[in-house]
Structures are given as structure tokens and as C-alpha cells.
Amino acid sequence: MTLFRNPRDRIPVLLFACVFALDLTVYFTARSAWLPVLWLVLWAIPKGWISAWNHHHQHVPMFRHALPNRLLDVVFGFQTGVISHAWFLHHVLGHHRNYLDQEKDEARWKRSDGSPMGELEFSAITALVAYPRAFRVGLEHPKVMRIFLSMGALQVALLGLLFWHNWYNALWVFLLPMGLSLYLTVWATYFHHVGLDTTAHAKASFNILHRGYNLMTGNLGYHTAHHVKHGLHWSQLPELHAQLAKEVPPTHYRQPGIPFVWFGAEAQVEVSPEEAQGVGLLRARN
């Protein structure tokens, strides 16, 4: 029996392990002050992409057994700032249940007066309250809460050991990238739902069909499909999106952000006629 639930997760997990090995190499070998800083800058966006895979892992664990899943959680925690089961509480048990209700949504984009937040406002607030909101959801799920708290304690202890050994390298290679990745993750989620005040799942998400974006994020751009069936493996989202495409309004498509938009986004988008019409209309409006 294979260790992985889905064989398509093998290459991504190998890549995450390689990135973590590089992090550790820089941490243990860097002697100059500038190298850890440069490392943070170079890996800021790629670790944001890894956050998307951490998200997928919290929906559908990549391994069949708990131990390798928890080990992967630790790696993801250091790479993305989102520790074991934090996504599961905040996002799976929280946001996915409440995203159609802006009074309850753990990633709500509305202010208390009903007006939409700006992207920086949303990103700062949601990042700062992400863990308190995950904790609040956990109060209703004590079994999950125990894993969340115990793994959180382990993550903090390991980070503490890294700081004890070399505080400067730990700061730039691990702690600051963790905070930055969390912020960038929240910033990216702003564009998934902002302004879509509806009770219909097919009309509640924006979609990105750019090939490069979906390659690096595990098809996160097929966001309507993800919300319609959030327990579906990331590799199956394009197929579900094709089934749902007629229900998705033509205005519910976006182009990707940096860096994908720099490389001819329009030429790299593969869509049905209905989807192409939607992309064209949205671009005309912008």
C-alpha cells in the first residue's frame, strides 16, 4: 500500500522537503549577515505558493497515516506560518461553512457597517486574528483542538531551539518568512470572494484559469469548484470546474497577479468558450 493517499502528491511533497532542506542549510551554514536576508527575499513568493499546498493538505491530507502528516505539518508550519490544523479549524471548519455569511465568515471581507474592506486592511486584520479565530472554532471541536494545541507547542519549541542555536539566522530564515507567508496568503484570499455578496455557491468565488498559476498553487484558481466540493483532491478541480462552468457568471474570472501576469497571461489561459467570454468581459470592465 502506498504511503500517499494520491500519487500526484509525491512530487510536490518532495519539492517541499527540498525547500525545507535548503532552509536548514542556509540556517546552519550562513555566516554573513546578508545571506539570510537575501534568502527571505528570494523565497517570499514561492513560499506563498507553498501556502496553497498547505491549504490543500488541510482539506485532504497527503499521507494515509497520522505521523507523516504531522511531520509534513511541521515543515509547512515553518514554510508558511500556518501550523498543523490551523487551516483546518480556521478555513475548513470555519470559512468553508460560513463564507456566504459575512457576519460569521472567518475570512470576512466586509466591515461591521457592511462596506467592503480594502485589500491591505483585510490582509492586516485577517492575518492578525487568524489564530484567535482558529482557536475560537476549535472550542467547538475539542479533538481537533487538542491536535492544534499540541502541534502548536511542538512548533514553538522547535522554533525556540533554532533561536537558541542562532537567533539571527532563525529570525530571517524562519520566523520572518513565516509571518510574511501568512500575510501574503491572506492577501491572496482577498481576491477569492471580495464583493460577491450572494447565497449561491456558483456565484460566490472568483476563478483564475491561468496554467502557470494553477500549476504552482495546485489548481487553487478553480475556486468555485473548490467551494462546491472542498473535500475533492486538488488534481480533480479542473474537471469539476468544467462541469460547473455554465453556472459560473462570466464576470467571475480574474487574471493572476505577479509574477504570472508578466508572462502573457492571456496566451496561457485555456478555457471553454463560455469561460473565455467571461475572461474577456472582466478584462473589458477593468
Question: Which CA distances in Å does 187 have to 30, 69, 119, 190?
Answer: 31, 26, 7, 5
Alpha helices in the chain, H assignment, sequence order? 10-29, 34-59, 66-80, 86-87, 96-98, 119-138, 142-165, 167-170, 176-193, 211-217, 223-228, 237-244, 273-285
Q: What is the pLDDT of residues 127-173, one digit of tens each?
A: 999 999 999 999 999 999 999 999 999 999 999 999 999 999 999 99
Cβ atoms of 133 and 95 within 8 Å: the answer is: no
Q: Give the pLDDT band of residue 286 (cuts 50, 70, 90).
A: very low
Higher pLDDT, 100 or 277: 100
Is residue 15 within 8 A of residue 72, CB to CB? The reply is no
Q: What is the mean pLDDT of the chain?
A: 89
Grouping H, G, I as helix, E, B as strand and the rest as coil, residue 269 is: strand
3-state secondary structure of 254: strand
- pLDDT above 90 covers a percentage of the chain that reads 80
Q: pLDDT tens for residues 226-254?
A: 999 999 999 999 999 999 999 999 999 98
Contact between residue 151 and residue 85 where contact means Cβ atoms under 8 Å apart? yes
pLDDT at 279 over 70: no
- The Cα 205–Cα 184 span in angstroms is 19
Average pLDDT over residues 5-13: 96
Indicate the pTM of the whole model.
0.88
The phi and psi torsions of 14 (rounded to 5 degrees) equal -60, -40
Confidence at residue 123, expressed as pLDDT on a 0 to 100 scale: 94
- Residue 264: per-residue pLDDT: 60
| Per-residue pLDDT tens digits for 46-101 | 998 999 999 999 999 999 999 999 999 999 999 999 999 999 999 999 999 999 99
pLDDT digits (tens, 9 = 90+) for 174-211: 999 999 999 999 998 888 999 988 888 999 999 999 99
3-state secondary structure 95-116: HHHHCCCCCCCCCCCECCCCCE
Q: How confident is the model at residue 1 (pLDDT cuts 50, 70, 90)?
A: low
User: What is the per-residue pLDDT for 281?
Assistant: 35
Q: What is the structure's pLDDT at 274?
A: 44
Contact at 8 Å (CB) between 120 and 219?
A: no
